[in-house]
């Protein structure tokens, strides 16, 4: 059996390490690397790209664009690419790597030569919003507000260093200039015509994420109840292995770390019918379904290994 080959460009970063750790367990797959002293050598990178089936880019946006240009220059000899940066997430020539996002999306990923890996925050937000927009329960111009908290591992080297070495703040709002780079993909793939307000935050813990969307039920389609929102989500994701629509927790509490080291996305609806209020909540590991796990799903589809064969991490939670 000829093994499929993968090169992770930027394998020393947080996302790259997570992808590598997952792929090392996959039979029928071989990981290729460039010697450390040649990683910035264009010739070495070109040779590597010509020799592998697929390249995963775990690089800053500018470097990712350079790598794509290099791959494009190879023509038919070039590899298929998954880009984990934000450089191509709303590019119409790239397929968005969220297999459960829409019917047929997994098949589009499987056939694609260029796949953009979703952001962690958008994965939760799109997972909650797109089914409601598609069902007509939420208008496309609905004024959406998204609140989210992540572990500091999602903030890159500087944030990780700040929290790991000096302690960092216990909790911090950021992106208050309202120009966060994840807003474009969130709006685009949720099906919204009105730009949502996104308020991200970081807590002093390593990984784990909660994304929440508060709603006045009376501003949705007439007569919409919290149970309707749950049913729409449950129907949309019926049969999906890694996206799970669950009932509200009994104590009306939710903490962000329960799905750490899994590739699962949990969705819930908390509603108070007397007040006509609801909160949509997504929970995920920002390093799992929010980063490395999502890339591994797409790798499995693109290389014909399938999601089960690729070995995405699962764990049961109540």
120 part of the active site: yes
Backbone phi and psi for residue 220, each to the nearest 5 degrees, phi listed first: -90, -170
* HEC secondary structure over 174-219: CCCCCCCCCHHHHHHHHCCCCCCEEEEEEECCCCCEEEEEEEEHHH
So what's the architecture of 4-117+291-310 in CATH? Answer: 3-Layer(aba) Sandwich (3.40)
**Are the folds of 4-117+291-310 and 120-286 the same?**
no
- Taking the chain (318 residues) in consecutive chunks of 10 residues, what is each chunk's mean pLDDT? 88 92 90 86 90 96 96 94 97 98 97 98 98 98 98 78 78 94 97 98 95 98 97 97 97 96 97 98 97 96 74 54
Kindly give, in sequence order, each residue whose CB lies less than 8 Å from that of residue 291, ignoring residues fewer than 6 positions away: 14, 15, 18, 84, 117, 120, 154
Q: Is 274 helix (H, G, I), strand (E, B) or coil?
A: coil
So what's the architecture of 120-286 in CATH? Answer: 2-Layer Sandwich (3.30)
The stretches of 260-317 forming alpha helices (DSSP H) are 293-302, 306-310
Nearest to 109 by CA among 97, 127, 123, 117: 97
Catalytic residue among 48, 120, 125, 271: 120
Nearest to 19 by CA among 302, 309, 294, 292: 292
* pTM of the full structure: 0.94
User: Which strand (E) or helix (H) includes residue 81?
Assistant: strand 80-83
Domain boundaries, the chain: 4-117+291-310, 120-286
Strand partners, 149: 201, 210
CA distance 242 to 226: 23
């Amino acid at each position: 059996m000829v093994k499929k080959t993968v090169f992770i460009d930027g394998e020393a970063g947080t996302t790259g390490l997570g992808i590598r750790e997952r792929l090392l367990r996959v039979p029928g797959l071989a990981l290729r690397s460039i010697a450390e002293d040649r990683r910035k050598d264009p010739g070495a990178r070109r040779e590597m790209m010509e020799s592998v089936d697929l390249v995963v880019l775990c690089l800053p946006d500018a470097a990712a664009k350079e790598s794509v240009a290099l791959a494009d220059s190879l023509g038919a000899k070039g590899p298929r690419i998954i880009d984990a940066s934000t450089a191509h997430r709303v590019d119409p020539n790239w397929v968005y790597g969220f297999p459960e996002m829409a019917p047929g999306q997994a098949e589009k990923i499987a056939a694609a030569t260029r796949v953009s890996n979703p952001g962690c925050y958008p994965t939760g937000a799109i997972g909650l919003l797109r089914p409601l927009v598609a069902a007509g329960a939420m208008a496309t111009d609905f004024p959406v507000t998204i609140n989210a908290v992540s572990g500091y591992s999602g903030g890159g080297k500087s944030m990780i260093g700040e929290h790991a070495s000096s302690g960092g703040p216990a909790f911090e709002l950021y992106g208050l200039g309202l120009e966060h780079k994840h807003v474009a993909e969130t709006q685009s793939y949720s099906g919204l015509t009105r730009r949502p307000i996104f308020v991200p935050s970081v807590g002093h813990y390593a990984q784990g994420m909660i994304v929440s969307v508060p709603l006045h039920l009376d501003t949705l389609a007439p007569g919409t109840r919290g149970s309707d929102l749950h049913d729409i989500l449950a129907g949309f994701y019926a049969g999906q292995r890694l996206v799970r629509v669950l009932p509200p927790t009994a104590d009306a509490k939710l903490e962000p770390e329960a799905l750490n080291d899994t590739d699962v996305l949990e969705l819930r609806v908390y509603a108070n019918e007397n007040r006509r209020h609801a909160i949509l909540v997504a929970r995920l590991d920002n390093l799992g379904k929010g980063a490395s796990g999502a890339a591994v799903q797409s790798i499995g589809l693109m290389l014909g290994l399938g999601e089960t064969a690729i070995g995405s991490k699962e764990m049961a939670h109540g």
